[in-house]
Structure 1
């Protein structure tokens, strides 16, 4: 087994441990790396607050579910398992409050780090709404953005189709494992998405679709994107959940106005009343997110940032791994491929100079006025 496989196996083992959800995983990562935690003895694991059932699982020499995932990755060059520690894990997604610790991907994983606009909406959208989803997706990819959605029937499917027909890239985030495409009607569309972008899921490849998976996946749709466009949404719909996540994550929320007689437009009209930006053309989106994209997603620093890095910032590589949400020390060390004790010294220097701040769970960037 190679070092990368050992590293990945440790992440999968901790993720698949019974009752280790996102919050527990975040707490454990703030204490130590998954590889180190798996070497803890029973007393040390108990001190972490883990139950006897969890400890037995972690101390098991063989994990069939982990091995299945590693075998899945080996089956195809298009299969990727991406832990949060990976240097190619999408930066925007890593900065949300509960980033998925593991992503399963079919397609090009680098697509996830490209500038994106999410398009979501009703499964029972009007013909006008479906046409708008397709037209907006067409225009969005022509402006060099990736269209991200959820592969659902209705607006999602038309958004993916619009992006592909315009020879652009698209990402579909699933509420099931990547080997269980849902809905089944979109299996052929899923293959086209793989060829023109990526399928993504936080669930193991053989996981079936479950109702409670879909609200969870919506935070990934918004977390990957700079802005979220809601085409049509009923008063209670998954699209409104995505919009709420987007608002909490500091993303721009856009909505197309609809007829007050259209029940699938009540939710999107309500978003506009609540402060979402009303859009009537794709240009309304580009005007709003152009500057944001350059600041948040671009891999090249601005002229001002270049000046700070060359003249003031002592450890730019370490600083670049810290975002607006708490980043644990072990994650920073893994991304920089440096020992933890060296990272701690550099973090202390950055903190003393006012570039970052220590908070529960790790470090965050400080706004320097």
Structure 2
């Protein structure tokens, strides 16, 4: 099957009514990962399927599928499949992992260690300031900031990262061609050019209230931890925090004034076991071991590097990391140039650089540039 036919088959299944990601993954497992076999198997039992499912599989909307393929044509757009080698491993660990993601921008960022920053859409000035400060500090510490491109805390965190020349991930609750809220068109363009936009929903999908809890599970699932900056007691951010906790990820919350209604959600999270934090350094200290473990897993998975998980300083004993230090030399080096020089994949290279950064041997700088530190 050629690439276009392969994608068309995937898109047909992703648009099939009542065939959610769990059922699609189950069918893929039963068919040995062959998406064409899944489609054939479903069509062989049409009489047992619901009416809308049967009608779609009998006569898919070919024009809509053509439009989906047209959307995927430009550079920087991709349908990332759960069968792809670089599908985010952290998403595989959640209760309801997606079957595919529509991606606009730098897909390799989805393999970076991420920290979700979420909070109230109607955040106070101080809440937005906290979101900006934590986003920049955590980004400079090596974590990619992930949020939902909503008003308030989400938007402040994305913009702060971008303004500092740092990558950021936006998970949206619409199709990848839609912008919600509409006032974030400029932000969406920046995210696509300098970060990455991710959606579980196919092109043309409008904003719907039931889409945002699904989006929130991906924000939590992509991230090693979730920081809630401000949240009322009915805030959707509490859903993200609950999902993160259920996924075994760390949850952090900022305390606030007892007179601020947008602090009450954070205070509830803290009473329920979230970590009260006042500085970005506290988050880095908690998440650094998980980030190192993720980096080691990806280094092995993507490049086959034999990085030992049991040593304090991997670069002292691991030849591949020492070779990377040697390739860096003693000046500023762009990630793309380093990838071209070493012949390594950008995603695996980023993971190895993270290990070195957390060990204090490499410093990351705005613009995806790195330099070796003395010592």
**TM-score bin (small chain):** 0.7 to 0.9
- Give the corresponding residue for 1:165: 163
Tell me, in whole angstroms, the C-alpha distance in 2 between the residues paired with 1:80 and 1:29. Answer: 20
Where do 1:198-209 residues align within 5 Å?
198-209=196-207
Tell me, in whole angstroms, the C-alpha distance in 2 between the residues paired with 1:211 and 1:53. Answer: 22
User: Residue 3 and residue 155 in structure 1: after superposition, are their counterparts in 2 closer, same or farther (change >3 A)?
Assistant: same
- Give the corresponding residue for 2:133: 135
Tell me, in whole angstroms, the C-alpha distance in 2 between the residues paired with 1:241 and 1:113. Answer: 23
User: Residue 304 and residue 138 in structure 1: after superposition, are their counterparts in 2 closer, same or farther (change >3 A)?
Assistant: closer
Tell me, in whole angstroms, the C-alpha distance in 2 between the residues paired with 1:189 and 1:203. Answer: 20
Unaligned runs of 5+ residues in structure 2 are 301-306, 312-375
CA-CA distance at 1:27 after TM superposition: 2.8
26-35 or 152-161, which moves further after superposition? 26-35
Tell me, in whole angstroms, the C-alpha distance in 2 between the residues paired with 1:143 and 1:303. Answer: 23
CA-CA distance at 1:45 after TM superposition: 5.3
User: Residue 27 and residue 45 in structure 1: after superposition, are their counterparts in 2 closer, same or farther (change >3 A)?
Assistant: farther
- Give the corresponding residue for 1:303: 308
Q: Does 1:35 align with 2:36?
A: yes
Tell me, in whole angstroms, the C-alpha distance in 2 between the residues paired with 1:16 and 1:81. Answer: 13
Tell me, in whole angstroms, the C-alpha distance in 2 between the residues paired with 1:149 and 1:61. Answer: 34
Tell me, in whole angstroms, the C-alpha distance in 2 between the residues paired with 1:214 and 1:253. Answer: 19
SS state at 1:303 partner: coil
- Give the corresponding residue for 1:117: 115
- Give the corresponding residue for 1:14: 13
SS state at 2:299 partner: coil
For this pair of structures, how many residues does the alignment match?
302
- Give the corresponding residue for 1:67: 66
Cα distance per residue 1:28-79 (max 9 Å; x no partner): 2232232102223754455xx53354244224376333222111111x1021
Q: Contact 1:78/1:108 (CA < 8 Å) preserved in 2?
A: yes
User: Residue 170 and residue 41 in structure 1: after superposition, are their counterparts in 2 closer, same or farther (change >3 A)?
Assistant: closer
Where do 1:1-369 residues align within 5 Å?
3-32=2-31, 33-40=34-41, 42-44=43-45, 50-51=49-50, 53-60=52-59, 63-74=62-73, 76-298=74-296, 299-300=298-299, 302-304=307-309
Tell me, in whole angstroms, the C-alpha distance in 2 between the residues paired with 1:304 and 1:186. Answer: 42
Cα distance per residue 1:272-300 (max 9 Å; x no partner): 11000111000010000000111134423
SS state at 2:102 partner: strand
SS state at 1:199 partner: strand
User: With structure 1 as the length reference, what TM-score do the two structures score?
Assistant: 0.77
User: Residue 41 and residue 196 in structure 1: after superposition, are their counterparts in 2 closer, same or farther (change >3 A)?
Assistant: closer
SS state at 2:41 partner: coil
- Give the corresponding residue for 2:344: none
Q: Contact 2:119/2:229 (CA < 8 Å) preserved in 1?
A: yes
Cα distance per residue 1:175-229 (max 9 Å; x no partner): 1112210111111011111122101111112111111111110001011111100
Unaligned runs of 5+ residues in structure 1 are 307-369
Q: Contact 1:13/1:63 (CA < 8 Å) preserved in 2?
A: no
Q: Contact 1:38/1:59 (CA < 8 Å) preserved in 2?
A: no
- Give the corresponding residue for 2:323: none
CA-based RMSD of the aligned residues comes to 1.9
Cα distance per residue 1:129-170 (max 9 Å; x no partner): 110100000111111211000111100011001111111000
Tell me, in whole angstroms, the C-alpha distance in 2 between the residues paired with 1:237 and 1:22. Answer: 26
User: Residue 7 and residue 122 in structure 1: after superposition, are their counterparts in 2 closer, same or farther (change >3 A)?
Assistant: same
Q: Contact 2:116/2:147 (CA < 8 Å) preserved in 1?
A: yes
151-160 or 56-65, which moves further after superposition? 56-65
Tell me, in whole angstroms, the C-alpha distance in 2 between the residues paired with 1:61 and 1:69. Answer: 13
